[in-house]
Structure 1
Amino acid sequence: MKFAQAMLAVAAATAMQFSASPDAFATGKMKCDAGPQSGWKSRTDLEAKLKKDGWTIKKSKVDGGCYEVYGVTPEGQNVEAYFHPVTMEKLLVSQRGKVIFKK
């Protein structure tokens, strides 16, 4: 009986982990205190702005309350970059773990 209870506890903890908010899985590279998502500009708007500025976007997502973008800069660098979701301000750009820009 104790084994069954232990297994149930493990299953419950695992279920809670996978139902956590997306920010619970943030990488920790950058954290934005941007308020509720209802006040954020859209990722589509950010991607359009970056494309206009010469970026090639491979993927974007929310990480740590920021927009995280994987792409190629106008200079041809493959990067991971973080932007504030309200102001769309560039906060951090790194390439292969090396920071190349930090606000």
Structure 2
Amino acid sequence: MKGLILTALALTVAGPAFAGDRCDVPTNEWQPREALQKKLEGEGWKVRSIKTENGCYEAKAVDANGKRLEGVFNPKTLESVGADSDDG
């Protein structure tokens, strides 16, 4: 039991570090948020917000059907490095 608790604690503490590894890019190489917004709007997203989270861009949007979307993007390449959606 103690080992399970320690493993869970280690994953909780290390989680943000893993997220940051996906976007380990110096800030002088980042593209502007507007470039990501334009890219996503071209893919049919209605962007609600873009913020910086753990060295990545995190975009919140809705699709054409009103489904909420959340994506995590590399700020240099604007490639998706993770996503989440919410049907609610």
TM-score bracket for this pair, using the shorter chain length: 0.5 to 0.7
2:51 is matched with which residue? 61
Aligned partners of 2:57 and 2:75 also within 8 Å: yes
Count of aligned pairs between the two proteins: 70
Amino-acid identity (%): 29
1:4 is matched with which residue? none
- Under a length normalisation based on structure 1, what TM-score does the superposition of the two structures give? 0.58
Q: What one-letter code is carried by the residue in structure 1 that aligns with 2:19?
A: M
Q: What RMSD over aligned residues (CA atoms) do the two structures have, in Å?
A: 2.1
1:43 is matched with which residue? 33
Larger relative contact order, structure 1 or 2 (CA cutoff 8 Å, min sep 6)? 2
Larger Rg: 1
Structure 2: tracts of 5 or more residues without a match: 1-14
Between 1:86-95 and 1:73-82, the stretch displaced more is: 73-82
Match of 2:73 among 80, 83, 98: 83
Compute the displacement of 1:34 (Å). Answer: 3.0
